[in-house]
Amino acid sequence: MTKEEEFQAKIDRDVKIEPKDWMPDAYRKTLIRQMSQHAHSEIVGMLPEGNWITRAPSLRRKVSLLAKVQDEAGHGLYLYSAVETLGAEREKTIDDMIAGKAKYSSIFNYPTLSWADIGAVGWLVDGAAIVNQVALQRTSYGPYSRAMVKICKEESFHQRQGYEIMMEMCNGTKEQKAMAQDAFNRFWWPSLMMFGPADAESPNTAQSMAWRVKRFTNEDLRQQFIDMTIPQAEFLGLTVPDPDLKKNEETGNYEYGEIDWEEFFNVIKGNGPCNKERIAARRNARDNGQWVREAANAYAEKQRIKKKVA
């Protein structure tokens, strides 16, 4: 058996690949691409929500939003550490994102215009993230799969935090219900786009499925999310902004209208409503944090020399 065949046989037996194991270069590259983009998404995802921390309507809401945003920072850090186990440099992956060479999730290029958007983000965006990440708990690369287990536990609190905001607004005044509906209208379609292009338009899916990096296709996960979310929208008394949505009684799945793929590709090319603002915020954070990284490295170096001398 060649090294490649041995590797694939291991994958087929569902044995996890660990950092020191032999792996094809293309597998390593795919993981670095997906995992670093996942890490960037967690960090950029803090921005639209962070926007509402100072304006949360009560202390209780502020505390839970703060905790959620802090969790996202943690998720980014686990994922950057997992990327480093593949030999990639964290700083280089961040530079690639700032230069527009590496992506982050399209969803974070939409603005959060009202408090109801914080409800919609928790409910829909974290809801979509959970569907994707529950599947990734079984991904073939050990460190990624283990990071996902911890992340999923925290995401379910995030989703409930969002849904609770939506429940309260939908049971509130007419104006609050209208705000919830407006947030739903704006976040529904971009949430569906989070799962990526249709399978026929997804260049990476076939190989990633064969390597079990991805356990389901983009369309399978999107369908799972829709089937899970429609009953939740009905419970809230919200109208799904899709006139073509209907349940197929035979399959039990909801059939949905055409996704605006032109909008999606435009957003991932850098032309969404907030792309420039998000990248500028990340660039500032990198540049303003440079002295902290230099000081930390200098301190670590000093400790290393001290140890060597002693």
Q: Point out which residues bind ligand BYC (CB under 6 A).
A: 33-34, 37-38, 41-42, 45, 72, 103, 105-106, 125-126, 129, 132, 193-197, 202-205, 208, 214, 218, 268
- Report the alpha-carbon angle 155-161-166, nearest 5: 130
Residue with smaller CB distance to ligand BYC, 124 or 233: 124
Phi, psi of 211 (to 5 degrees): -85, 0
Residue with smaller CB distance to ligand BYC, 119 or 196: 196
Residue with smaller CB distance to ligand BYC, 125 or 179: 125
Residue with smaller CB distance to ligand BYC, 143 or 197: 197
| DSSP string across 252-303 | -PEE-----HHHHHHIIIIISTTHHHHHHHHHHHHHHTHHHHHHHHHHHHHH
**Least distance to ligand BYC from the beta carbon of 110, Å?**
11
**Least distance to ligand BYC from the beta carbon of 123, Å?**
11
Residue with smaller CB distance to ligand BYC, 209 or 230: 209
Residue with smaller CB distance to ligand BYC, 220 or 247: 220
**Least distance to ligand BYC from the beta carbon of 264, Å?**
7
Sign of CA dihedral 286, 270, 154, 82: negative
**Least distance to ligand BYC from the beta carbon of 59, Å?**
22
Which residues contact residue 153 at a Cβ distance below 8 angstroms, ignoring those fewer than 6 apart?
none
Residue with smaller CB distance to ligand BYC, 134 or 239: 134
Amino acid at 44: V
Residue nearest to ligand BYC (CB): 45
CA dist 308 and 146 (Å) reads 34
Query: Which residues are bridge partners to 254 per DSSP?
Result: 247
Q: Compute CA distances 37 → 101, 158, 282, whole Å.
A: 10, 20, 14
**Least distance to ligand BYC from the beta carbon of 128, Å?**
8
Q: Return the residue matching tokens 């990440």.
A: 133
Residue with smaller CB distance to ligand BYC, 94 or 193: 193
**Least distance to ligand BYC from the beta carbon of 196, Å?**
3
CA dist 214 and 202 (Å) reads 12
- Torsion (CA) 18, 20, 21, 22 in degrees, nearest 10: 130
Find out whether 186 and 110 touch, Cβ atoms under 8 Å. Answer: yes
**Least distance to ligand BYC from the beta carbon of 260, Å?**
13
Find out whether 188 and 149 touch, Cβ atoms under 8 Å. Answer: no
HSE of 200, CA atoms in CB hemisphere, 13 A: 1
**Least distance to ligand BYC from the beta carbon of 165, Å?**
14
